[in-house]
Amino acid sequence: MVSESEAFCPGHVTAFFEVVDDLDPRRKGSRGAGLCLSLGVRTVARVREAPRTMIDIFVNGRRQKAEVTQTVAEKIVRDASFEVKILSESPLPVSQGFGVSGAGALSTALALDDALGRGTPREELVAIAHEAEVECGTGLGDVVPASLGGMDLRWKPGAPGHGEVRKIPVEADLLLAVLGPEIPTRSVIRDAKKVAGINRAGSACVEEFAKGPSLERLFALGARFAEESGLASKTVLEVIRASRMFGRATMAMLGNSVFATGNREQLATLYLKFGTLLRCEVDNVGARVL
């Protein structure tokens, strides 16, 4: 007998962050701030009993390795034997700072646990997805805020039980623009010199944001962080500055991309020459079983 469940997890953009290392992946993560996106990853999990465990993963209709999703599925199935099919769909590009791997991990955790009828506490499923992303080096701080929705202040790093994330509901129309090639997250967070620059700039931004979290402050501090951290390309910095005529924009960490709010028509005209453009809103609900 085949059992099936479906879940959605919003994408997530980080405006600024600070890397906090720990040997325990559930304690490791980032402090920072960002927004959840109405675009994300929708995942269907299908399971049936089998002599041995087999996990097949399809992303947008194509079979993929999807290391983080594979890791999550293995952690949830544990010692039982099932034939598992994970079918994920997303309009968001990968390795552009839109939190796709984290959203894939968490939507898989929610859908697969529900399909198996395990009833695992939600906080544990979020912790499993966070742990998998940290272990695979694909992210540090998208999973927990994506589970909550809204604008986030990640005050303490790590999974539920260790981290502390404050949710601030906000309403905003957003524009996402890809301006250059992919940036694999692990190439940045495993580079000690880059991390030192990130932490110098990021720590000050987190402290400043915590004094009065607002959408305006998120974009202002994000633009400052993009420049001071050394992460933004010349093109990204130029686009952030040019966007001030029509609204506000900042770099999506970690990607050659920006997220913006303001006059979306004027901003879209500005970004069109670069290619990929996506419109969305802030998701204030967070990850959920559908």
Query: What pLDDT score does 35 carry?
Result: 98
Compute the C-alpha angle 51/54/57, nearest 5°. Answer: 155
Nearest to 243 by CA among 229, 264, 227: 264
Residues in the chain, pLDDT under 70: none
What are the domain boundaries of the chain? 1-290
Question: Quick one: CA torsion of 241, 283, 41, 261, rounded to 10 degrees?
Answer: -20
> Residue 265 is encoded by which pair of tokens?
């028509």
Q: Considering only CA atoms, give the Rg of the chain.
A: 18
Q: What is the pLDDT of residue 273?
A: 84
* Residues 265-276 pLDDT 10s: 999 999 988 878
Angle, CA of 228, 234 and 263, to the nearest 5°: 90
Which pairs count as long-range contacts for 121-125, CB under 8 Å and 24+ apart, including other chains?
Answer: 122/147, 123/160, 123/161, 124/160, 125/76
Number of helices and strands (H, E) in the chain?
A: 9, 12
pTM: 0.95
What is the model's pLDDT at position 9? Answer: 98
Q: What are phi and psi of 155, to 5 degrees?
A: -80, -40
- At 80-112, the pLDDT tens digits run 899 999 999 999 999 999 999 999 999 999 999
Q: What is the pLDDT of residue 192?
A: 84
Residue whose token pair is 């947008």: 60
Assigned fold of 1-290: Ribosomal Protein S5; domain 2 (3.30.230)
pLDDT at position 157, please? 96
